[in-house]
C-alpha cells in the first residue's frame, strides 16, 4: 500500500517538477536559472534507529573557484558540536538553547574513518582540527586536510570519505527524540573557499567557521544525490526530489533524493508522520490581480513575476492534525508572496516538517527545500487557535529559502543579512495574508510589528547589527540585533525611502545575488539603496538608537502691547485695559514646543501640532540646508488664533526603530481619561486580590 502510494507520490512530484521546469524555461526573467556548482555530494547513509547512529560514505567533488591553486580543504564536522561540553557550541550556549536544555545522555559526534583521493591516497590521518573563531583547541567542528597536489584554478578534485556518526538527542537543531529523527548538519561538508575580492577579501582563503550557538550556515552551491537506508516503517522527508524508493530484503527501505543548486541537505524520519501533499499552483493560487499588483510595485513586466508550481509535502504529527490546513496555507502564502516580491521559488518541491514530541529543539529550522515548523497541540483549537505561531514559523523558515538558501549570505559573520531580511519579509507576508495580529485572542492582541518593537529600548546602544554571530554582548543582543532590530531598520527604511523603493531594491538585490554569496556592502550597493548609505551607516554599522522626544508643550496668550507705543505715526500711551479692549476678538496664542533627539541616529521626521479646535498642522524638521534635522534639541514656536494643545513627532508612527514611542508626543495639559480607565481597573483587580486573601 505504502509502496504504491510512494510511486504515485513520486509521479506527482516529477510531474510537478516538469511543469515547474517547463514554466520556468518559458519565463523571461533576469533571475539566474542555475547556480555555479562548486561542491557536489553523492552520499550513501544508513540509519540505525536503535543505536541512533549513522554510517555514511560520500564522494565530494570540489571545483576551485579562485585564480590561485588551493592546497588545503576545510570541512565542517558539525555533529561534533554535541561531542562534549568542551565544544565551542556548548561553551557558548551553556548547553541550553531557546529554553531547551541538553540532556545528560544525548551526546552526538562524528568520526571520519577514511578520506581518500580519487587516486586512493588515504588522508584521514592528516586531518587536523581547526578553531578559526576562538582559542578553543578542543573544538572539533572544523577540520582541514592538506592535499597531495594543490587544486589548480578552475580545477576539480574528488574525495571519497567514510564516516560514522551518533546523532545527539535533540535539544538544538538536530538529532533524535524517541523515534523522530531530524538529521541536519550531519555529513562532512566543505566550507567556502572565497577568492580574493569576494565579500571584500584581500586574499583568497577558506571561510569555514566553527559551529556556534547562534549560527551554522555558509556553504557553496552544488548538486546533491543522497541515498538513505533505514527500517521501512519510517516515513522519510528530505531536501530535493525523491527519485527512487525500494524495499530491501533486510526489512529496510532505501530512498534516493536529488537536488541541484542547493547549499545543504537535511532529512527527517519518523514512523508517525501524517503525510499531506498539495501542489502550489502558479495559476490557481495566484490571482491575476496579485500578479498585476506585484508587477506594478516592482515595475516589471508580468512575465518576470510569474511563479512556478511547487509540490508541497507536510509531514505532520498526528496530534496536530487540526492544524494541517494552517501549515499548508502558510506554506502557500510564503511561496506566493516571497516569490512574487523577490523571485520565483525555483525548486520543484518543498517539505515542511512538524517536529515530534521532545523534538521541539529541531523546530523552526531552515534547510534547502526543507524546513521544520513549530507548534503545539494547545494551538489546535479555541481559545489558542488565534495564536498564529504555526503560520509565523512556517512563513519565516520558508523565507529562508530566499534569504540564506538562495541568496547565500554568511550567517556567521553577518547574520542580519538572512535573519534580518527574512524577519522583515516574514512580517510583510504575515500582515498581507493573516492580518496585523500575531496573537489575536479575546481582549489580548499582539501585532506582528509590535513583537520586535517590544525588545527595543534605550539599552540597545552597546551592540551594532553588523557583528559576527558569536561577537554580541549576549544571546539576547544577538537575537535582537539579528532579527528584530534588522526588521525594524528595514521598516524604517520604508518610511525614509518609500515602500516601493525598498521593494524594488530587494528584488534587484535578490536577482543579483541569487545563488551567490553577497556581503552587507553588496547589499548597501544595490541599485536604489545607494542614496541610503548614510542610513545604513547609522543603523547597521553603528550601535546608536533612534529616540525622538517632545519634551514640553507650552501655550500662552500673547499679551497685547502696552506702554508708550508708536501707532499710525503717533506716539500714544496704551494701558493694559485699553490694549485688551483693542485686541478683543483677535487674541493670539504663542505656543512653544521643545523637541529633543535623545538617540544618536538622525532620521527625517516631522512634527504634528494639534490645535485646540481640532486642526492639525505638520512641520517637517529640517536643518537650514534642507537635510534632516541634526540638532539635539529645538524649539518650535508658532503664534496662532488657536492654542496648541498637543505635539506629536512622527505622527504616522513610521519610524518604528524609535525606542520609545510614548515620548514622541506630549500634551500641554494632562488628560486623565486613560489613567482613569486603568486606575479604576486597578482598584477592581486589587479588590479581587483582597477577596482571594479572605476579605
Query: Least Å distance between CB 47 and other proteins?
Result: 18
Nearest residue (CB) to other proteins, 558 versus 676: 676
d(CA 92, CA 133): 12
- In the structure grid, which three cell numbers stand for residue 23, read together? 514554466
Nearest residue (CB) to other proteins, 462 versus 684: 684
Residues 161 and 188: beta-carbon distance below 8 Å: yes
Query: Least Å distance between CB 589 and other proteins?
Result: 18
Query: Least Å distance between CB 386 and other proteins?
Result: 15
Query: Least Å distance between CB 643 and other proteins?
Result: 15
Nearest residue (CB) to other proteins, 180 versus 218: 180
d(CA 577, CA 562): 9
- In the structure grid, which three cell numbers stand for residue 350, read together? 518543498
Nearest residue (CB) to other proteins, 208 versus 645: 645
Q: Is 674 exposed, middle or buried, given 0-12, 13-18 or 19+ CB atoms closer than 10 A?
A: exposed
Residue 469 C-beta-side C-alpha neighbours within 13 Å = 29
Query: Least Å distance between CB 10 and other proteins?
Result: 30
Residues 344 and 307: beta-carbon distance below 8 Å: yes
Query: Of all helices (H) and strands (E), which one includes residue 502?
Result: helix 499-513
**The Cα angle at residue 336 between residues 334 and 337, in degrees rounded to 5:** 70
Nearest residue (CB) to other proteins, 182 versus 350: 182
**The Cα angle at residue 137 between residues 132 and 140, in degrees rounded to 5:** 80
Nearest CA to 420 out of 370, 471, 464, 470 is that of 464
Query: Least Å distance between CB 457 and other proteins?
Result: 5
Which three-class secondary structure state does DSSP give residue 57?
strand
d(CA 80, CA 189): 13
Nearest residue (CB) to other proteins, 170 versus 503: 170
Query: Least Å distance between CB 642 and other proteins?
Result: 17
Nearest residue (CB) to other proteins, 12 versus 446: 446
* Residues 6 or more apart whose Cβ sits within 8 Å of residue 611: 617, 640, 642, 643, 644, 645
d(CA 609, CA 592): 10
Q: b/e for 400-410, b at 16 or more Cβ within 10 A?
A: bbbbbbbbbbb
Query: Least Å distance between CB 325 and other proteins?
Result: 20
d(CA 319, CA 273): 10
The residues facing 220 across adjacent strands are: none
Which residues are at the interface with other proteins (CB under 8 A)? 178-179, 317, 319, 356-358, 376-378, 443-447, 450, 453-454, 457-458, 610, 646, 648, 659-680, 682-691, 693-695
d(CA 392, CA 448): 9
Query: Least Å distance between CB 79 and other proteins?
Result: 22
Query: Least Å distance between CB 532 and other proteins?
Result: 26
Nearest residue (CB) to other proteins, 118 versus 690: 690
Nearest residue (CB) to other proteins, 588 versus 660: 660
Query: Least Å distance between CB 350 and other proteins?
Result: 25
Nearest residue (CB) to other proteins, 388 versus 400: 388
- In the structure grid, which three cell numbers stand for residue 389, read together? 505561531
Nearest residue (CB) to other proteins, 567 versus 675: 675
d(CA 674, CA 290): 41
Nearest residue (CB) to other proteins, 462 versus 678: 678
- Which residue in the block uniquely carries the three cell numbers 531557546? 98
Query: Least Å distance between CB 685 and other proteins?
Result: 8
Query: Least Å distance between CB 668 and other proteins?
Result: 8
Nearest residue (CB) to other proteins, 508 versus 592: 592
Helices then strands, counting H and E runs in the chain, come out as 15, 35
The total of other beta-carbon atoms located within 10 Å of residue 514's CB is 22
Nearest residue (CB) to other proteins, 29 versus 451: 451
CA distances from 143 to 66, 84, 558 (A): 21, 17, 78
Residues 601 and 545: beta-carbon distance below 8 Å: yes
Query: Least Å distance between CB 9 and other proteins?
Result: 26
Q: Is 78 exposed, middle or buried, given 0-12, 13-18 or 19+ CB atoms closer than 10 A?
A: buried
CA distances from 672 to 238, 553, 665, 678 (A): 59, 17, 16, 10
Residues 76 and 141: beta-carbon distance below 8 Å: yes
Amino acid at each position: 500500500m505504502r509502496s504504491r502510494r510512494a510511486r504515485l507520490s513520486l509521479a506527482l512530484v516529477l510531474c510537478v517538477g516538469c511543469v515547474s521546469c517547463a514554466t520556468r524555461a518559458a519565463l523571461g526573467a533576469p533571475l539566474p536559472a542555475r547556480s555555479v556548482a562548486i561542491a557536489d555530494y553523492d552520499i550513501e547513509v544508513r540509519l540505525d534507529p536503535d543505536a541512533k547512529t549513522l554510517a555514511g560514505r560520500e564522494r565530494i567533488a570540489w571545483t576551485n573557484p579562485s585564480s590561485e591553486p588551493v592546497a588545503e580543504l576545510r570541512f565542517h564536522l558539525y555533529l561534533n558540536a554535541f561531542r562534549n561540553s568542551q565544544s565551542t557550541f556548548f561553551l557558548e550556549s551553556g548547553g541550553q538553547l531557546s529554553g531547551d536544555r541538553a540532556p545528560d545522555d544525548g551526546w552526538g559526534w562524528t568520526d571520519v574513518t577514511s578520506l581518500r583521493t580519487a587516486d586512493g591516497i588515504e588522508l584521514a590521518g592528516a586531518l587536523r582540527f581547526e578553531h578559526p573563531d576562538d582559542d578553543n583547541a578542543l573544538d572539533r567542528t572544523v577540520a582541514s586536510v592538506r592535499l597531495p597536489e594543490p587544486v589548480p584554478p578552475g580545477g576539480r578534485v574528488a574525495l571519497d570519505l567514510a564516516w560514522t556518526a551518533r546523532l545527539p538527542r535533540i535539544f538544538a537543531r538536530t538529532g533524535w527524540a524517541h523515534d523522530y529523527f531530524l538529521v541536519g548538519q550531519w555529513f562532512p561538508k566543505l566550507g567556502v573557499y572565497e577568492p580574493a575580492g569576494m565579500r571584500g577579501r584581500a586574499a583568497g582563503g577558506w571561510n569555514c567557521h566553527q559551529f556556534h550557538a547562534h549560527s551554522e550556515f555558509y556553504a557553496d552551491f552544488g548538486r546533491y544525490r543522497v541515498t538513505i537506508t533505514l527500517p521501512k516503517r519510517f516515513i522519510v522527508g528530505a531536501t530535493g526530489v525523491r527519485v527512487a524508493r525500494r524495499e530491501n530484503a533486510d526489512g529496510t527501505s532505501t530512498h534516493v533524493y536529488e537536488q541541484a543548486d542547493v547549499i545543504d541537505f537535511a532529512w527527517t524520519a519518523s514512523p508517525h508522520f501524517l503525510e499531506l501533499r498539495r501542489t502550489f499552483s502558479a495559476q490557481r493560487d495566484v490571482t491575476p490581480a496579485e500578479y498585476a499588483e506585484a508587477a506594478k510595485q516592482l515595475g516589471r513586466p508580468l512575465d518576470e513575476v510569474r511563479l512556478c508550481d511547487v509540490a508541497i509535502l507536510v509531514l505532520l504529527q498526528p496530534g496536530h492534525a487540526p492544524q494541517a490546513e494552517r501549515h499548508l496555507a502558510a506554506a502557500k502564502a510564503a511561496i506566493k508572496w516571497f516569490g512574487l516580491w523577490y523571485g520565483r521559488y525555483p525548486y520543484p518541491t518543498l517539505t515542511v516538517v512538524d517536529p515530534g514530541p521532545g523534538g521541539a529543539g529541531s523546530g523552526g529550522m531552515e534547510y534547502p527545500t526543507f524546513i521544520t515548523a513549530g507548534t503545539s497541540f494547545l494551538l489546535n483549537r479555541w481559545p489558542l487557535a488565534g495564536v498564529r505561531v504555526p503560520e509565523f514559523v512556517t512563513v519565516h523558515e520558508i523565507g529562508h529559502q530566499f534569504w540564506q538558501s538562495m541568496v547565500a549570505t554568511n550567517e556567521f559573520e553577518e547574520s542580519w543579512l538572512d535573519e534580518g531580511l527574512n524577519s522583515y519579509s516574514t512580517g510583510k507576508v504575515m500582515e498581507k495574508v493573516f492580518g496585523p495580529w500575531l496573537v489575536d485572542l479575546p481582549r489580548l492582541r499582539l501585532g506582528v510589528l509590535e513583537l520586535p518593537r517590544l525588545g527595543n529600548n534605550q539599552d540597545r546602544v552597546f551592540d551594532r547589527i553588523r557583528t559576527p554571530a558569536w561577537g554580541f554582548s549576549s544571546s539576547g543582543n544577538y537575537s535582537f540585533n539579528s532579527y528584530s532590530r534588522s526588521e525594524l531598520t528595514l521598516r524604517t527604511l520604508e518610511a525614509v525611502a518609500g515602500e516601493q523603493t525598498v521593494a524594488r531594491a530587494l528584488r534587484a538585490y535578490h536577482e543579483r545575488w541569487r545563488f551567490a554569496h553577497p556581503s552587507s556592502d553588496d547589499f548597501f550597493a544595490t541599485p536604489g539603496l545607494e542614496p541610503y548609505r548614510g542610513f545604513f551607516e547609522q543603523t547597521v554599522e553603528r550601535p546608536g538608537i533612534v529616540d525622538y522626544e517632545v519634551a514640553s508643550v507650552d501655550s500662552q496668550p500673547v499679551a497685547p502691547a502696552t506702554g508708550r507705543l508708536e501707532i499710525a505715526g503717533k506716539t500714544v500711551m496704551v494701558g493694559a485695559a485699553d490694549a485688551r479692549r483693542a485686541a478683543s476678538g483677535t487674541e493670539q496664542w504663542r505656543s512653544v514646543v521643545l523637541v529633543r533627539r535623545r538617540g544618536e541616529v538622525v532620521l527625517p521626521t516631522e512634527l504634528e501640532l494639534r490645535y485646540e479646535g481640532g486642526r492639525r498642522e505638520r512641520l517637517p524638521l529640517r536643518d537650514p540646508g534642507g537635510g534632516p534635522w541634526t540638532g539635539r534639541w529645538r524649539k518650535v514656536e508658532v503664534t496662532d488664533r488657536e492654542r496648541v494643545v498637543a505635539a506629536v513627532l512622527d505622527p504616522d508612527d513610521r519610524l518604528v526603530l524609535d525606542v520609545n514611542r510614548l515620548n514622541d508626543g506630549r500634551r500641554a495639559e494632562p488628560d486623565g481619561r486613560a489613567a482613569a480607565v486603568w486606575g479604576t481597573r486597578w482598584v477592581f483587580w486589587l479588590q479581587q486580590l483582597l477577596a482571594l486573601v479572605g476579605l
